[in-house]
Amino acid sequence: MSAPFGSWPSPFTPASVAASSPRIDGARFVGDDIWWGESVPAEGGRVTVRSSTGAQVLPAPWSARSRVHEYGGGAWTADDDGTLYFVDAKDQRVRKVARGGDPVELTPPGPAHGGLRLQHGRLFAVREDLTVDPHRRAIVEIPTDASAADDPGAVQVIVEGEGFFAHPAPSPDGGRVAWVQWDAARMPWQSARLAIADGSHTSVVPTRAALQPEWTSDDELVFADDPTGRWTLHRVRMDHDGHPAAPEPATGAEADADTGYGLWVLGNRWFRPLDDGRIVAVRTNGRDAVVVVSPDGSARPLIVPTDGHVSVDDASGSRVLLSGSSSAGSPGLWLVDVDSGSIAPVAGGTPADPAWMPTASALVVDGARGPVHAFAYPPANPSATAPEGELPPYVVLVHGGPTAHVTGAASPSIAFYTSRGIGVLDVNYGGSSGYGRAYRERLEGGWGVADVDDVVAAARGLVAAGMADPARIAIKGGSAGGWTVLSALVRGGTFAAGISRYGVADLRMLVEHSHDFEAHYIEGLVGPLPEAEQLYVERSPLTHADRIDVPVLLMQGGDDRIVPPAQSEAIRDALAARGVDHEYVLYPSEGHGFRAAETIIDALERELAFLGRVFGFRPAD
């Protein structure tokens, strides 16, 4: 059939998108089973734990979700006998559940926990207490016998301070514990140190931005660091006196890729050592690849179905559990044997029909500060075409963070648009991870300028390539991405509409409400306060809301503690005062990110209707 772009019939309904992409939240071998965490959009985004036997290990209403550092992560683990340990989303206490039993509290009320690590029967966690002044964080060992449920003194503190901690890792013999730590004035991808304690003293290893220490023996551990601008694997050995020697590379020739990225959440695993000395590792250069590193440092590629935000969740013998997204199917979890190459899907990972699922093509354009990387998804529908000579509308996506990245993976949320005849351009603007430190640091001092320059350059590159209708390009983003959306609309001239989900509108308001983890983040992206206060005012979209002259859709979570509703409502009021076409939707029970199925459905319906109204097409449904 021939129909205008945007009006093609599609099997990707808002309901099917909400149901098709549960988030995999860690996985591990549990005896002969495989367990994994999975979000349940139909239950308000609750995170359950499932088993490969078909059982739901963590039933409703329990939800495994951490709020440590606000973004959480590492909210569950399990032992080989099938005892589950998890952080309850409501009160942030750690609980355990034996097979067939009820949850039992392991920690006292008050502090939050995350980054759980269970090894040889010992349970470690990152603890955060926001009830004291100044706020305190620690690496702790939690007794598994419930003796600490009402006795805070039963929890053993490994290290404590006002900074931040992540990745607790006990040595095989239990004599040492390693972790990553950083000061409150820096973000972990800027500067983070590796520390090792043996009970009598603590050694700090000279590192630049350390990630994920993993012991390969009682006297050696592997970690990721980026001393040359790319996160690569390094080894550190303990000398005869129990002190760490200087780190050395764990691989041969350095790859033009990162093993690691921004430490936003505590549960990410970019590599896993195997028992025989090999290491399975992720390497990211835009897209992800998986390699097997031999003890001599050589690496061979491992062909796997996932190539986006890959996590090496667990290893057993020659088998590894890989979770992530895919260019050829839905996000999922796979069991991979690194020797035989066999691959078995465990959860999700459904192959996509290439007739319906668009293939992302890497797009690189020249920007004001160098090349700008993006992934373009053209419209794709096997049963519909557009009238001859018509160019498609496009939505330019801006990820949050801003120190994050997109990978060109397929997803129903993108196919929702492309199957209807709306192209999508996903931009990794300067400041994104996945392209090395120099690319990340482009945004330092330039937030609201450099990111806008890059998304504008990407959109214009799309037009120059003859791929998009220049009069029908919208821009969409959430959180920091919403900031870039509003900043780009203030600049004007490129985008005909904007969609902001819980976007930042006023920098001073953001700093005022900022949580500890990001308390100094904005200073690096814009400038120190109070010296740069005028720059904060000048950069904020709210200051120049009178320059926005195109339709805007604003969507906001009522329980958002990172970007409160006041930010979106200030933009709404400024647009309303001038009579600018806009819509504002508040979802009272949502936080920073939409998790409930009904919210996801409603948001997609509103976005499609908004684009149809603004760009002059009638959606088929």
**Residue 250 contacts by C-beta under 8 Å, 6 or more apart in sequence?**
222, 232, 233, 234, 235, 279, 293, 297
DSSP 59: -
The pLDDT confidence band at residue 335, using thresholds 50, 70 and 90, is very high
pLDDT at 613: 97
- Residue 350 within any structural domain of the chain: no
| 382 plus 262 within the same structural domain | no
Cβ atoms within 10 Å, residue 10: 22
Residue whose C-alpha is closest to residue 452's, from 471, 477, 433, 421: 477
pLDDT at 253: 67
pLDDT at 41: 83
Single residue among 220, 242, 269 that ends a domain in this structure: 269
* Domain CATH code at residue 99: 2.120.10.30
Helix (H) or strand (E) holding 461: helix 450-464
Number of domain units in the chain:
2
Going 505 to 422 to 23 to 339, the CA torsion angle's sign is negative
pLDDT at 472: 98
- Residue 577 within any structural domain of the chain: yes
C-alpha–C-alpha distance, residues 238 and 431, integer Å: 36
pLDDT at 564 over 80: yes
The pLDDT confidence band at residue 135, using thresholds 50, 70 and 90, is confident
Single residue among 243, 269, 295 that ends a domain in this structure: 269
- Residue 243 within any structural domain of the chain: yes
SS3 306: coil
* Domain CATH code at residue 520: 3.40.50.1820
The pLDDT confidence band at residue 407, using thresholds 50, 70 and 90, is very high
- Report residue 285 as tokens: 């250069």
Q: State residue 365 phi and psi, 5-degree precision.
A: -125, 160
C-alpha–C-alpha distance, residues 216 and 233, integer Å: 13
- Residue 502 within any structural domain of the chain: yes
| 177 plus 62 within the same structural domain | yes
pLDDT at 318 over 80: yes
End-to-end CA distance of the chain: 16
Helix (H) or strand (E) holding 521: helix 521-525
- Residue 336 within any structural domain of the chain: no
The pLDDT confidence band at residue 391, using thresholds 50, 70 and 90, is very high
| 255 plus 393 within the same structural domain | no
Torsion of CA 85, 89, 92, 95, to 10 degrees: -20
- The percent of residues in the chain predicted with pLDDT above 70, rounded, is 100
pLDDT at 454 over 90: yes
pLDDT at 561: 83
pLDDT at 511: 85
pLDDT at 352: 75
pLDDT at 29 over 80: yes
pLDDT at 92 over 90: yes
Residue whose C-alpha is closest to residue 159's, from 183, 175, 181: 181
pLDDT at 428: 98
The pLDDT confidence band at residue 510, using thresholds 50, 70 and 90, is confident
pLDDT at 21: 62
pLDDT at 515 over 80: no
Say if residue 412 is preceded by a cis peptide, omega within 30 of 0. Answer: no
Over residues 364-375, mean pLDDT: 96
pLDDT at 17: 87
- Residue 353 within any structural domain of the chain: no
**Are 180 and 188 spatial neighbours (Cβ–Cβ below 8 Å)?**
yes
Structural domain including 523 reads 371-615
* 488 CA to centre of own chain: 23
288-308, pLDDT tens digit by residue?
Answer: 999 999 999 899 999 999 999
SS3 495: coil
| 414 plus 555 within the same structural domain | yes
**Are 611 and 550 spatial neighbours (Cβ–Cβ below 8 Å)?**
no
- Report residue 521 as tokens: 């983040």
Bridge-partner residues for 215, per DSSP?
221
pLDDT at 73: 96
480-504, pLDDT tens digit by residue?
Answer: 999 999 999 999 999 999 999 999 9
**Are 74 and 60 spatial neighbours (Cβ–Cβ below 8 Å)?**
no
* 312 CA to centre of own chain: 15
- Residue 507 within any structural domain of the chain: yes
DSSP 410: B
Over residues 42-61, mean pLDDT: 92
Higher-pLDDT residue of 379, 359: 379
DSSP 580: -
pLDDT at 322 over 90: yes
pLDDT at 44: 83
C-alpha–C-alpha distance, residues 520 and 185, integer Å: 5
- Residue 430 within any structural domain of the chain: yes
| 506 plus 390 within the same structural domain | yes
The pLDDT confidence band at residue 142, using thresholds 50, 70 and 90, is very high
Single residue among 269, 290, 321 that ends a domain in this structure: 269
